[in-house]
Amino acid sequence: MNGNSAQKIVPVLLSGGTGSRLWPLSRELYPKQFLPLCSDRTMLQDTALRVSSQAGGGADVVFSAPLVICNQEHRFLAAEQLRQSRCTPRSIILEPAGRNTAAACALAALAVTAEDPDALLLILPADHEIRDAETFRRAIVIAARAAQAGRLVTFGITPTRPETGYGYIRRGHSMDEADGAYNVAAFVEKPSLEVAERYLAEGTYAWNSGMFLFPAARLLAELERHAPAVLAACREALDQGSRDLDFFRLDAAAFAKAPSISIDYAVMERTDRAAVVPCEIGWTDVGAWSALWDVGNKDGEGNVIVGDVLLEGARDCYVRSENHLTAVVGVENAVVVVVDDAVLVADRSQAQDVKRIVDRLKAEGRSESVSHRRVHRPWGSYQSLHTGDRFQVKSLTIAPGSRLSLQKHHHRAEHWVVVNGTALVTRGEEQVMVYENQSIYIPIGTVHRLENPGKVPLTIIEVQSGSYLGEDDIVRLEDVYGRN
C-alpha cells in the first residue's frame, strides 16, 4: 500500500461507551472518551489525531476522514470536539442504544462499502491510550498487508505483566503475505494469575486490544456467515435511517433487533481468516483508575497527582482533584478523585469495583450516575449554582455564534444578568441587546431566545422563579439543533 494508491484506510472511531469504572469523573452523559485523561486533549481527540492525515506515518499509511459511531446523546459533544481538533469526519452515525461492537463494525462496513467496496476499516475504540503512535502506524502498515490478503486482523499487545483483566491471543505461524503478521491459533478468555504468568513466560501470547483492521467486504461476508442477525438488523437500520444535520440517525426499531454481541465473539473467534499483529505501542484501555496510575507520571513516592493536591506520607496513590484543594495523609495504594458533586476513595487494587457504586446510584435513581453539575449543550453549557424554595440560580455559557432554542415555560420566569460578553435576546416580538452588567426579565409564558452574536463566550447568571423548575418545562418552538 502506498501514497499513490487509490485505496485508503478508513478509521472507524467507536465512541459509544459510558466508562462507569472511571466515575465520578466519567458520567453517562459525559463519558471518559470526551475527557482529557491522558493529555491536554480528550481521548476522542487523541484517537482521531493519531490516525489523521496530518499525523504523518509515511507513504505506506494513507488515512481517509474517520467514520464516527456514537450514542445519539453524545452527538454534539463528538462533533464539537472533532471540530476543535480540525478533524472533519466522513460521517457520524448515531446509535439509539448500545448494541456492542459487532453491530458497530457491521454499520461501518455497510456504510463504507456503499462508497468504496475495496476499503479497509481500522476499528479503534475512542477511549484507549497509545503512547507510541509511530510504532502503532508501523503496525498498521503490516496489518494492511494482511488485510489486503483477505485477513481479519487484530492488534495484539505484547504483555508486560501477568494481567488477569484482559483476554489473550495465542499466535500461530507467520503469514507469508505479511511479514510481522501471524495466524491466530486461539483466543483465550481472561485467565487466572497462574495461567497469565505461564502465558507471559511462553512468549507466544498477546493481550487482545479490541483494535482491528478489516477488509470491509470480507467483514460483511464473515458477518453474513457467522452473525447474520446482526448484519440484517444493521442493514435495515441504515436503510430506514435518515440524515439529521451533520449526523446519520439509525432507525431505532430496526437497530434494536441486533443481538448485543462483541465482534470478537460474533466473528473473530469463529472465522478461519483471523490474523494478529503483535506490537509494543504503550497501550492501555484506560478501563479503571488503576490504569491511569499505571501510565501516569509518578513522583518519588510513586504517586500520580492531577490538580490542586497536597500529599503527606502517601505512597503509590492516584489523587485527582478537579475543583477543590485535596489533602491526602498517610495512605498507600489509594485512588482519590474529587469533583464538584462527589468524592471517590478506593483501594487501587479494587478500582474495577467502582462500577458497583454506579450501579447502586442508578438503582436509587440518583443523578450523579448520569450527569455532572455542569451540563453540556450544543450551544455551550450550564451549571446549577444554588436551589431553594421556588427559585434556582444557574450559570450559562453560550459559545460565540450560538443560540438557544426559541422557547417558553409554563411554570417559571427567568431573570438574566450578563456577566461577560454581549447577549441578543428575543422576548416576545422584540429583540434586545444586553451588555455586561445589564439584565433583562422574561415573564412566565413569554416566547424567548438567548444568543451570542459576539466573538467571545457569553456568560449569563440566570435566576429562575416559579412553582416548577424542572428542565422538562421547556416548550421548544424552533431549534437549530433539531431537538424536540
Range of the domain at 332: 289-367
Rounded to whole angstroms, the Cα distance separating 230 from 224 reads: 9
pLDDT digits (tens, 9 = 90+) for 353-363: 999 999 999 99
Compare 373 and 305 and report the one with higher pLDDT.
305
Grid cell, residue 337, equals 478523585
Please list the alpha-helical segments (H only) found in 38-175. 43-50, 75-84, 100-113, 133-148
- Residue 119 pLDDT > 90, yes or no? yes
Quote the distance between the C-alpha of residue 186 and its chain's center: 30
Residue 462 and residue 472: Cα distance in Å, rounded?
Answer: 17
Cα separation of 317 and 289, whole Å?
10
pLDDT band at residue 55 using 50, 70 and 90 as cut-offs? low
β partners of residue 392 = 387, 464
Number of domains in the chain: 3
412-437 confidence digits (pLDDT tens): 999 999 999 999 999 999 999 999 99
Specify the pLDDT at position 3.
41
Q: What is the CA radius of gyration of the chain?
A: 25
Give the CATH number of the domain where residue 470 resides.
2.60.120.10
2 is a domain residue: no
Assess whether 323 and 296 both reside in one domain. Answer: yes
Q: What is the mean pLDDT of residues 206-212?
A: 95
Residue where one domain finishes, among candidates 250, 284, 318: 284
Specify whether the CB–CB gap between 387 and 468 falls below 8 A.
no
CA distance 272 to 164: 26
Last residue of a domain, one of 242, 258, 284: 284
User: How many helices (DSSP H) and strands (DSSP E) are in the chain?
Assistant: 11, 28
How far apart CA 264 and CA 256 sit, in angstroms, is: 20
**Residues 349 and 258 placed together within one structural domain of the fold:** no
Residue 213 lies in a domain: yes
Averaged over 197-216, what is the pLDDT? Answer: 94
DSSP assignment, residue 429?
A: T
Residues whose CB is less than 8 angstroms from the CB of residue 134 and which lie 6 or more positions away in sequence, other chains included? 57
Residue 57 lies in a domain: yes
**In CATH, what number is assigned to the domain containing residue 34?**
3.90.550.10
pLDDT digits (tens, 9 = 90+) for 142-198: 999 999 999 999 999 999 999 888 999 999 999 888 899 999 999 998 899 999 999
Single pTM value for the model: 0.88
pLDDT of residue 366: 93
Rounded distance between C-alpha atoms, residue 123 and residue 13, angstroms: 6
Together in a domain, 240 and 315: no
Do 89 and 237 fall into the same domain? yes
Q: What is the overall mean pLDDT for the chain? A: 93
User: How do beta strands 205-215 and 9-15 pair?
Assistant: unpaired
Structural domain ending residue among the three candidates 322, 343, 367:
367
Pairing state of beta strands 423-427 and 374-377?
unpaired
Between the two ends of the chain, the Cα-to-Cα distance in Å is: 47
Q: Does 257 share its domain with 280?
A: yes
Residue 316 sits in the same domain as residue 170: no
d(CA 42, CA 34): 5
Which helix (H) or strand (E) segment holds residue 442: the answer is: strand 439-442
Together in a domain, 279 and 299: no
Q: Are residues 56 and 199 in the same domain?
A: yes
Residue 274 lies in a domain: yes
Confidence label for 54 from pLDDT (cuts 50, 70 and 90) = low
Give tens-digit pLDDT for 58-109. 556 789 999 999 999 999 999 999 999 999 999 999 999 999 999 999 999 9
Would you give the DSSP letter of residue 330? Answer: S
Contact between 326 and 339 under an 8 Å Cβ cutoff? The reply is no
Answer yes or no: do 226 and 128 share one domain: yes
Are residues 172 and 140 both part of a single domain? yes
Per-residue pLDDT at 57 exceeds 90: no
Q: Biggest alpha carbon distance in the chain? A: 76
Whether 347 and 233 share a structural domain:
no
Q: Are residues 358 and 380 in the same domain?
A: no
